[in-house]
Amino acid sequence: MREGEFAHLAAHLDELEAKGLRLNFRVLEGPQGAWLTIEGRRLLNLCSNNYLGLADHPRLKEAARAAIQTWGVGPGAVRTIAGTMSLHAELEEKLAAFKQVEAVVALQSGFNANGAVIPAITGPEDVIISDALNHASIIDGVRLSKAARRVYAHADVDDLRRVLGEPEVSGARQRLIITDGVFSMDGDIAPLDEIVAVAEEHDAVVMVDDAHGEGVLGAHGRGIVDHFGLHGRCAIEVGTLSKAFGVVGGFVAGLRTLIDYIRQQGRPFLFSTGLSPADTAAAIAAVELLAADDTLVRTLWANADAFRSGLEALGFDTCRTRTPIIPVMLCEAELAQTFSRRLFEEGVYAMAIGFPIVPRGKARIRAMISAAHSREDLDLALGTFARIGRELGVIEASAE
């Protein structure tokens, strides 16, 4: 390498370090679960999206092992050439039945799912109207589109209605409204019922990225569309297999015409190798498990309600969340980093989130609750939060 090559990148990294914004990655030394092993230490895990505890579930692991024995470890080609296995078709059929839609296409990740659908179905004659706090994968998918773009205030249906009434929006060939289902930083649920009603008033199409709602909201974890009873009224659902389903991958669900079109025009589907046999088989097992039994979903919600109410009783601000994503608002980034570090020292792994992921002055600890947690785990976490909260002056010293 030439001396000084990538010097501008090194300078940027130094700048991030100086501002406290450089990301540091913990290395796990065992499987995902209620507890993790990091640096030889056993820590209570409040960081993972493994909402139902399926990432280390015996049924999913056995399905993956069996698939490797039958199918090998890789599909060997993009799905449009020789990489589509009957396992892929089975997963898509079972997901479609679970989601109660006509068809599903599976992709390598939820990020890729947004990159496949948004640019494929929009063009210069169209307008995309996106929630201000939508996920980065939606933002990047919108940037890849040639459509005009508008942003409406977060979860503000009145502002959405205003944008839809703008002449350049109302006159477009297609108006595509996109929203997250559950927003990953505040844990709030999009008012999808109201969004769909406004969309119907304006002959617009609604797309929801339900990454944090799949396996969490709705009957048996069918997602936000089921939660609001909107089957047949929300045109596009994007989901992930890497959070509540415990595996890896993403999918798009909707009308067969939509899915057939993405198979023909969605670039991440066309030009990247699909899911491995092990991942696909494990995802099938997860869908089958959820379709048959909602015990894990009910346990998740009971755990989330218990932990949230415990934090609020102690005096912590949880930003009025009502999902298993529970932000503990600390406001200042330095305080959040200190709180997270003290939690780690005391055996609880919960990350600080600050700018630029959230706005300045909105730093927090983001606690992620799982069905794998026992009530003893949650009580231990609450006791640790209380002790450190009093130590750092976040809550009253008398808080119990």
User: What CATH number does the domain containing 271 carry?
Assistant: 3.40.640.10
Mean predicted confidence (pLDDT) in 391-400: 80
Whether residues 234 and 383 fall in one domain: no
Burial level of 267, CB count in 10 A (0-12/13-18/19+)? middle
Beta-strand relationship, 41-45 and 348-349? parallel
The H-assigned helical ranges of 236-332 are 256-265, 267-271, 277-292, 295-314
Domain containing 310 equals 19-48+294-391
From 272, 292, 312, the end of a domain falls on 292
Q: Are residue 186 and residue 223 in the same domain, yes or no?
A: yes
In a domain, 5, yes or no: no
Q: What pLDDT does 400 receive?
A: 57
Q: Which of 245, 273, 292 is the last residue before a domain boundary?
A: 292
Please report whether residue 1 resides in a domain.
Answer: no
Give me the pLDDT at residue 3, please.
65
Tens-digit pLDDT profile for residues 338-355:
999 999 999 999 999 988
CATH number at residue 360: 3.90.1150.10
Q: Do the domain assignments include residue 396?
A: no
Query: What pLDDT score does 5 carry?
Result: 87
Are 166 and 185 contained in the same domain? Answer: yes
DSSP state of 221: G
Q: How far apart are CA 219 and CA 222, in angstroms?
A: 6
Q: Are residues 186 and 218 in the same domain?
A: yes
Give the pLDDT score at 1.
63
Same-domain check for residues 42 and 136 = no
Residues 286 and 299 occupy one common structural domain = no
pTM of the predicted protein model: 0.95
Quote the number of domains for the chain.
2
Residue 280 lies inside a defined structural domain of this protein: yes
What is the bridge-based pairing of β-strands 236-240 and 205-209? parallel
C-alpha of 223 from chain center: 12
184 included as an active-site residue: yes
Over residues 83-116, the pLDDT tens digits come to 999 999 999 999 999 999 999 999 999 999 999 9
Q: Are residues 336 and 372 in the same domain?
A: yes
pLDDT band at residue 21 under the 50/70/90 scheme = confident
Q: Are residues 124 and 212 in the same domain?
A: yes
Q: Is 373 a catalytic residue?
A: no
Residue 82: pLDDT over 60 = yes
Q: Out of 227, 243, 362, 373, which one is annotated catalytic?
A: 243
What pLDDT does residue 189 have? 97
Of 322, 326, 332, which is closest to residue 311 (Cα–Cα)?
326
- Regarding whether 92 and 144 lie in a shared domain, the answer is yes
Residue from 212, 220, 227, 362 carrying the catalytic annotation: 212
Model pLDDT, residue 225: 98
Both 194 and 226 in a single domain?
Answer: yes
- How high is the pLDDT of residue 22? 79
Beta-strand pair 41-45/35-38: antiparallel
| Domain co-membership, 281 together with 301 | no
| Active-site residue (options: 48, 184, 242, 276) | 184
Q: Is 212 a catalytic residue?
A: yes
pLDDT single digits (tens) 23-45: 788 899 999 999 999 999 999 99
Q: Are 128 and 174 in the same domain?
A: yes
Torsion of CA 161, 165, 169, 170, to 10 degrees: 120
Task: List the alpha helices (DSSP H) in 211-274.
Answer: 224-227, 256-265, 267-271
Q: Which of 235, 264, 292 is the endpoint of a domain?
A: 292
